[in-house]
Amino acid sequence: MFTQPSFISIIGHMRILLTGGAGFVGHHLIEHFWKFTDWDIVSLDRLDTSGTLMRFSDIESFEKYKHRLQIVHHDLRAELNDFVVHRIGKVDLILHVAAASHVDRSIDDPMMFAQDNVVGTVNLLNYARKHAPLAKFLYFSTDEVFGPAPKGVNYKENDRYNAGNPYAASKAGAEEMCVAFANTYRMNMKITHTMNIFGERQHPEKFIPMVISKILKNEMVSIHSDPTKTMPGQRYYIHARNVANAILFLTTQVESKPGVAEKYNIVGEKEVNNLELASLIANFVGLPLKYEMVDFHSSRPGHDLRYALDGTKMKELGWTLPMSFEKSLESTVNWTLAHKKKWLLS
């Protein structure tokens, strides 16, 4: 059972702007804020690719909290005009979560990712400095900006970037714009790096729902591996509720200074390779796993075998994971099985 974060006592009322609220991570943030704060939320959404308003109505507590949500339609590739700015109104906190995020699509169409993630971020930063100069700004980035992590290496927040694909490069470029705006315009800025996120209502193209779907249909699951086809890819998987808890911790418990873009790694409990993960999923589903090891990385450059972040900074600040990896995964699998007709699209 996911309970109220221990660090929350009294949080003052805020009105926040969240980009990509109808997306996978964004709607989990909204659900979390509904439960543990009294904040009013403006969700700025384009509603294409993977965003859907169905995620809101599917939340169990939607009817109770929906009066605290305002949805504004806008494509961040365009400047926020006067009508959009007026519709948003005054905000105290900006969480920039919206992004194009699928590596395969970035390899096929890198310009789209530059437009979505770099241009879109600059348009939002310009809105913030002109219309919400006192608001705190948090940019939601990814572990992939650091590129592949050799065995035994876990990247710290300010290590060098080495993007392995256009998606990662677009997120790194957007990060640097956030740093530049903090330095140039004295903005109040935080940047997070988060590893592979999973949870309820995730797009079926992502690994965990894809594996569930293939197991149910008795299909072969491809496990990306090294050229010898013996070493699967590895990640630190983390549930979206744990990520939401970390974001709430950072925005309410950790001070930031104007003109400083401080970075934070939000890291899962432990490292798991993708074969171990698929086997765990099969166990929770209760059906056998059919799999093949595939050297996808050699034939399709841009897919890195291992990513890893160092989570020491967040631990030293006092943040701990509210729910374990195994419990989070089991809960997600059980929920997906109960709602498979709606969320597996098959």
The sheet with strand 15-19 has its strands ordered as 69-73, 40-45, 15-19, 93-96, 136-142, 188-194, 261-266
pLDDT tens track for 70-80: 999 999 999 99
Ranges of beta strands (E only) in 249-334 are 261-266, 272-273, 291-294
Antiparallel, parallel or unpaired: β 234-235 and 272-273 = antiparallel
**pLDDT at residue 287 tops 80:** yes
Tell me whether residue 143 is one of the annotated catalytic residues. Answer: yes
State how far the Cα of 221 lies from the Cα of 274, in Å rounded to an integer.
10
pLDDT tens track for 186-207: 999 999 999 899 999 999 989 9
Tell me whether residue 144 is one of the annotated catalytic residues. Answer: yes
Q: What's the first-to-final CA gap in the chain, in angstroms?
A: 29
Tell me whether residue 237 is one of the annotated catalytic residues. Answer: no
- Exposure b/e, 64-88, CB count within 10 A at least 16 = b: ebeeebbebebbbeeebeeebbebb
The pTM assigned to this predicted structure is: 0.93
- pLDDT bracket for residue 49 (50, 70, 90): confident
Least confident among 1-10, 153-162, 318-327: 1-10
DSSP 117: I
**What residues form DSSP beta bridges with 309?**
155
pLDDT tens track for 100-136: 988 888 999 999 999 999 999 999 999 999 999 999 9
Considering 127, 155, 167, 307, which one is annotated as catalytic? 167
**pLDDT at residue 301 tops 80:** no
Considering 31, 45, 116, 143, which one is annotated as catalytic? 143
The topology under which CATH files domain 15-201+236-271+306-323 is Rossmann fold (3.40.50)
Considering only CA atoms, which of 50, 61, 56, 49 is closest in space to residue 71? 56
* Cα 44 to chain centroid, rounded: 16
For the chain, the domains span 15-201+236-271+306-323
